[in-house]
Chain A
């Protein structure tokens, strides 16, 4: 495959202390050989579990290193070669999303591993000059804020530039010379993020955030000419809830909840709209998140989604919802199809030609070298139709002309 499809993996975290104390049942079964996740309904334990297959499935005892080498590595590798890559982290509040992405002292997360990977690749390749820069932004209530800028309260505008793609006006970019620089930027940005403490989770993200690493490389060819290329890695942390149903008109939910989900559901809208493909215009504005990541969803980007799951029985419905969401992302092609007019004029033309060739072979038509004279154009056989319309059926000025020419 040319790698344009979205890869989706799921990872189930171990029981946390609260769930252990409550003696929660484990209802998620991961088979990392078959890449399946099975979910048992706690109310109907005898029923066959719901089963989902992904591009990867990682259980409680998995470590982030494996996840990274399986799915993270190839993606980051292509970034270093000048392609774009996007990693989405998705999951309900408290499902171990940050653990997988950021990691902790015991296990390094996907993000620090990606940093190390990039700098290692860069330092071993002396044939090119590299410039690595990073930016960090969050989308909160449909406002885009620079988490690393001097003023992180200003709402920044998006701009679609014909040559440069979508960019955020006056977003700050910071040069990174080593892994520690990236870590520092990430830490700094995280402090500025809208993280809210809820009873369920000490810090649940209230906003979407995108950390972007831009790898620009400059290479001299044999004639001494310089060639520039740039790869981009987007690390997207999706806000921890998908509570809002779609359509522009939202119920009078809290403004905050509404907006968080506006982005998430619009992402779903994009995906569903792509399946549909019918000629129509839906006048809803795409969310900022969707617009910012449109080259990940409709351009040449490798896209990976990591969905985090909780094993506990009391999260059954939410876990099921996450699995369904992930499954949707996997099943549905994220690239819009090229619309070609289903006119088969070309085909019919060729079929005519074949007919004549066959006649020639059978000796029923004079043999000539192929020339344009023989290709009978379809629309020269114009149909002449006469429309017989009821005399009183139409108002005078609306009465159609009686003769129509067409192909």
Chain B
């Protein structure tokens, strides 16, 4: 029978059905000659190919460390031989198997399989002098070979092979209309593009990746247009798209049905989305990146719904299940689903929405993460308990940041609203819903229950509301502080302590009573001081600096609070002489403590000789903190209450010295052509500059009193 490209017809198919002969029935006649009789036997080719897959994906795992690619090299030789010895005119044929074509679905499937081969046959012959079967088998092998090269650190060659491959597949189109994608190699093509994206992203060439992203989206769009959601009936099989498995370029796989093929293809696309998320992240397109992250996570939930339904304690188990899948299909790089990882990603994503001020969406992410964690932690078959405990705590830390950020934004918005006539703007986002919802199984995730118990997503308008946020966040942070103890987790522990201190600092804003404000500031000191004393500044320099600066600031705030209380009481004549003296001593002590800590902070910047002098030039990131510490010092000396003029003179001198230091430093840097210090300190600089003029006059006046 002469090969004729034609629409699939019942006729040609029934011929297959009727042909019950011993040998597989030939639908199309062989054109050309056989080179090696072996290599046109599809069953044999399939066998060889399976051998390759087995070597590459399974046996290679056992390779010793010294020869990491031993089996992969062996597999490479095998596939190279297959390519080199392939027959150029392998004919299209379908196995004779009545079992196989028992359903309508299978019937339509076969028709399509046949039709799409016939469709590209003339182009394959004219462009590549090969039968369509030979051509596509070759592409399948080349894909595997390219992957092999990439995996074994010969990226350049692998990438070129792949680029050539996708171009040749493109050449098969009659015109460049995107709807012309041939379902035979939808899967192979997407797999190839995923691999290319991987290569180019590992070369940090993200511009190039963006072009690939576009093509991938086109392929997927095209697939979507041609497939309906209702994909399980035979009609769909007749009219919709069937993304054939790459291994089916050799032989149809009887074990696959339409749903399975589509699931595989969707999983492949999930992998693409996961790459997109990373690429946009690298390109600093945060919103796009976040959207793709969310899509990836959502699709993972959809794909692994039954796993999530039966979660137990070992998050790694599911990876194992996925890995052990049969190699009957083309092994596919999936975004592996690990429930603990999923929770981690969801929680990390929440932090993006926190930064965006979208607390409702952030809260939804965190609640979903917690739902998974609860399930994992409540199981009795926990394995790897230590890791689960740590990771659970780490994920829950996100709530701390959430609480802090919510209070911070509440404060900012309240302050802003004082200048505005209509304060209803404060309520603009009230009860706004989450941007999306992950479809977690209902028994695992009860929206009502989870989100009602969590920290609110609305800003705090008064002390009571702020306190609710504070208490919930504080409770969580106190719990995880017990996991990340100081001895063993210094950095984590310090972070948590600072978060707790930050929480207080925002709550203080809502408190109107000065004495109670003082008490809360003291709580902050109780948190930070012991840790600060305990850690070595050699090994935890940054943390130490941060804590010293924090403590200095808190003492300074206490000075202000105590001074105000003092003044208030004095104005109301509530202070006895004795009490008054006590208050002054207290204020001066606090100022002294603040000065001490800012000095210790500056000491950590000192350099040779003997680490006793401040450097001529601070590192860029230290300029503002260092000069600000100087600024605080100047202010603090002017707040010390002294009666004797000589003491007062001394203090003013200190103030003057510190302000002068700031001005001199900025001026000196400007003269050297460096603007950073001046840019960062311009307001403080201007104020200091003026003070430098006033202070000497005051000092003069005091000298006359001595």
Contact = CB atoms under 8 A, between A and B. Distances in A.
A299 B462 CA distance: 41
B162 to A, nearest CB: 13
Interface in A267-312: 278-285, 294-295, 298-300
Contacts of A18: none
Interface in A336-368: 336-341, 344-347, 349-351, 353-354, 357, 361
Interface stretch (B39-47, B175-183, B230-238, B328-336): B328-336
Given A251-B198, A325-B204, A294 B491 contact: yes
A249 B335 contact: yes
Interface stretch (A7-15, A53-61, A314-322): A314-322
A383 interface: yes
Contact of B639 (A245, A284, A372, A398): A372
Interface string A328-341: 00000101111111
Contact of A335 (B61, B66, B542): B542
Nearest to A357: B694
Chain B binding surface, main DSSP class: helix
A354 B691 contact: yes
B355 A280 contact: yes
Contacts, number: 290
Given A280-B354, A335-B621, A253 B489 contact: no
A106 interface: no
Given A245-B198, A336-B542, A389-B427, A281 B398 contact: yes
Interface in B149-163: 151-156, 159
A351 B688 CA distance: 9
A160 B488 contact: yes
A197 interface: yes
B628 interface: yes
B68 A341 contact: no
A330 B660 CA distance: 33
A275 B347 CA distance: 21
A252 interface: yes
A288 to B, nearest CB: 14
A299 B539 contact: yes
B391 A283 contact: yes
B702 A163 contact: no
B487 interface: yes
Interface in B461-484: 461-465
A74 interface: no
Nearest to A401: B462
Range for the number of chain A residues in contact with chain B: 35 or more
A93 to B, nearest CB: 5
B423 A318 contact: no
Would you call the interface of chain A mostly helix, strand, loop, or mixed? loop
Given A93-B153, A196-B66, A248 B341 contact: yes
Contacts of A254: 61, 151
Interface in A236-265: 241-254, 256-257
Interface stretch (A26-34, A116-124, A198-206): A198-206
Interface string B56-99: 00000100011111000100000000000000000000000000
A162 B567 contact: no
Interface stretch (B219-227, B241-249, B302-310, B545-553): B545-553
Given A247-B278, A340-B624, A346-B632, A321 B335 contact: no
A396 interface: no
B318 interface: no
B573 to A, nearest CB: 14
Nearest to A203: B66
A175 to B, nearest CB: 22
Contact of B423 (A4, A256, A281, A385): A385
Interface string B94-134: 00000000000000000000000000000000000000000
Nearest to A404: B462
A300 B538 contact: yes
Nearest to A200: B153
Contacts of A222: none
A338 B152 contact: no
A150 interface: no
Contacts of A375: 563, 639
A284 B395 CA distance: 8
A162 B534 contact: yes
B698 A249 contact: no
A93 B548 CA distance: 44
Given A245-B202, A251-B198, A285-B394, A340 B415 contact: no
A283 B415 contact: no
Nearest to B66: A196
Nearest to B337: A249
Nearest to A360: B694
B20 interface: no
Contacts of A339: 546
Contacts of B564: 377, 379-380
13 contacts: A140-B65, A245-B201, A251-B275, A281-B401, A316-B156, A333-B620, A335-B542, A338-B625, A345-B560, A347-B631, A370-B638, A372-B567, A375-B639
Closest 6 CB pairs of A and B: A165-B539, A400-B461, A338-B625, A196-B68, A405-B512, A160-B490
Given A281-B398, A340-B624, A385-B417, 5 more contacts: A198-B68, A254-B151, A337-B621, A350-B691, A401-B464
Interface of A: 1-2, 4-5, 84, 93, 140, 159-166, 194-200, 204, 206, 241-254, 256-257, 278-285, 294-295, 298-300, 314-318, 320-321, 324-325, 333, 335-341, 344-347, 349-351, 353-354, 357, 361, 369-370, 372-373, 375, 377, 379-380, 382-383, 385, 387-390, 393-394, 398, 400-401, 404-407
